[in-house]
Amino acid sequence: MLNWILFTLLTTFLWALNNVLDEIVVTKYVKNEYRYSYWFALGRVPITVFLFLVFGISIPSSSIVLMTILSGFVNALPYFLYYRVLQSVEAYSVALVYVALHPIFTYIISNVFLHDILAVNEIIGFFVLLIAGVFSVLRFDKGISVKKELLLIVPAAVVWAVGDVMFDYVVSYYTNPIDAISWISLGGSFVLLLCWFVPFLRRKCTPDVEKVPRAGYAIFFVTIISIFISYYAFLSALKIGDVALTSSLASSQPLIAFLIALFFASAFGGRLISKKDPRIFSFATLAPKFLALVCAALGVYLISL
């Protein structure tokens, strides 16, 4: 159980870090969700080749390999919507809607297809973690402010939930999660085919290489590497625990994304975080974050009983 919690917390931290880094890229360097989705898919190609060359090619069965590739493709599709939302909404607010909806969709889908059943303490912990997610973006002076662009995260959360359930099913067939990651990464790179052959996307996804400064490429490189590390941690967690609980434990993601954004805003100011709120250090903002941390810790404890 301890290993599962550690892997899930590492996954959650990396997902939150990626939320903030993605926000920086799409608001500062690549202000087009289609182009950044193209770059994200293209960035998978060299890492996929590297993984196959270093770790070899594992084929449990042709059907499992095809499903693993499909899971990677499904997981990559919602990034078009996700990057669109990040251009106008803070990363931790995006993470809130995601963690509030994703565990619910994941539990429903996994219950239907994988017959995962939660114990009473796990269900209580599940809802406590959702409360933590709400507290993480609550402000005592404003309440919860939800922009209409956030509605795009709803279909994204559904598709990501489908991808995660597929991950949960296929990962047990691989001895090493890295073998699954190689095929998942290959599937994610197939988004390039959409960008190349779908006329609408081909016009939108044309990369503008000369206008992206080195800082943009550096942040993008860090994001790609952390994504693959999070894949390893997430799949390792799935080999130990079920997908619904793993997704619910990630409900602390908005809090972590907020703290990372707070650090970047303090350290770099407007050079990185373009939507810095001057009241970000106020009691009305920080007090709910502390309550979110308490709820997250309580939720983890209940799940681990």
Spell out the SS3 assignment of 206-266.
Answer: CCCHHHCCHHHHHHHHHHHHHHHHHHHHHHHHHHHCCHHHHHHHHHHHHHHHHHHHHHHHH
pLDDT band at 66 (very low <50, low <70, confident <90, very high): very high
* pLDDT surpasses 90 at 96: no
Which residue is associated with the tokens 């903002």? 285
**Whether the predicted pLDDT of 271 surpasses 80:** no
pLDDT at residue 272 in the model: 53
pLDDT band at 276 (very low <50, low <70, confident <90, very high): very low
- How far from each other are the two terminal CA atoms of the chain, in whole angstroms? 9
Q: What is the CA radius of gyration of the chain?
A: 19
Nearest to 40 by CA among 53, 30, 54, 49: 30
CB atoms within 10 A of CB 272: 19
Most confidently modeled range among 142-146, 189-193, 256-260: 189-193
pTM tops 0.85, yes or no: no
Mean pLDDT, residues 130-140: 67
Name the domain count of the chain: 1
Q: Which range is least confidently modeled, 14-18, 126-130, 132-136, 202-206?
A: 132-136
Contacts 24+ apart (CB under 8 A), 137-142: 137/92, 137/93, 137/96, 137/254, 137/258, 137/288, 138/288, 138/292, 139/284, 139/285, 139/288, 140/283, 140/284, 140/287, 140/288, 141/279, 141/282, 141/284, 142/284
The partner residues of 139 in beta bridges, in order of sequence, read: 143
Section 195-218 average pLDDT: 77
275 versus 302: the higher-pLDDT residue is 302
Question: What mean pLDDT do residues 255-269 have?
Answer: 74
Amino acid identity of residue 38, one-letter, is: Y
Q: Is the pLDDT of residue 275 over 60?
A: no
- Residue 143, judged by CB atoms within 10 A of its CB (0-12, 13-18, 19+), counts as exposed
- Of 11-25, 72-86, 189-203, 283-297, the poorest mean pLDDT is in 283-297
Distance, in Å, from the CA atom of 53 to the CA atom of 236, rounded to the nearest integer, reads 21
In degrees rounded to 5, what are phi and psi of residue 118?
-95, 145
Q: pLDDT at position 281, please?
A: 56
* Rounded average pLDDT over 65-69: 94
Position 72 scores a pLDDT of 93
What average pLDDT does range 209-226 have in this prediction?
80
Q: In this predicted structure, what is the pLDDT of residue 70? A: 95
| Mean per-residue pLDDT of the chain | 78
Structural domain containing residue 230: 2-304
State how far Cα 220 lies from the chain centre: 15
pLDDT higher than 60, residue 107: yes
CA–CA separation, 98 and 235 (whole Å): 19
Distance CA 117, CA 17 (A): 31
User: Tokens 């309440």 belong to which residue?
Assistant: 143
* Token pair in block for residue 262: 């707070």
Q: How confident is the model at residue 63 (pLDDT cuts 50, 70, 90)?
A: very high
For residues 18-28, average pLDDT: 85
Q: Three-class SS of residue 190? A: coil
pLDDT beyond 60 at 130:
yes
27, 262 contact by CB (below 8 A): no
- Residues, the chain: 305
109 versus 223: the higher-pLDDT residue is: 223
Q: What is the pLDDT of residues 149-170, one digit of tens each?
A: 767 888 888 898 898 888 888 8
* Alpha helices, DSSP H, located in the chain: 2-28, 33-55, 62-76, 79-86, 91-113, 120-135, 153-171, 177-189, 191-197, 199-204, 214-240, 243-249, 253-268, 283-304
What mean pLDDT is predicted for residues 92-118? 71
pLDDT category at 209 given cuts 50, 70, 90 is: low
- Is the pLDDT score of 241 beyond 90? no
Q: Which amino acid is at 228?
A: F
| pLDDT for 111 beyond 60 | yes
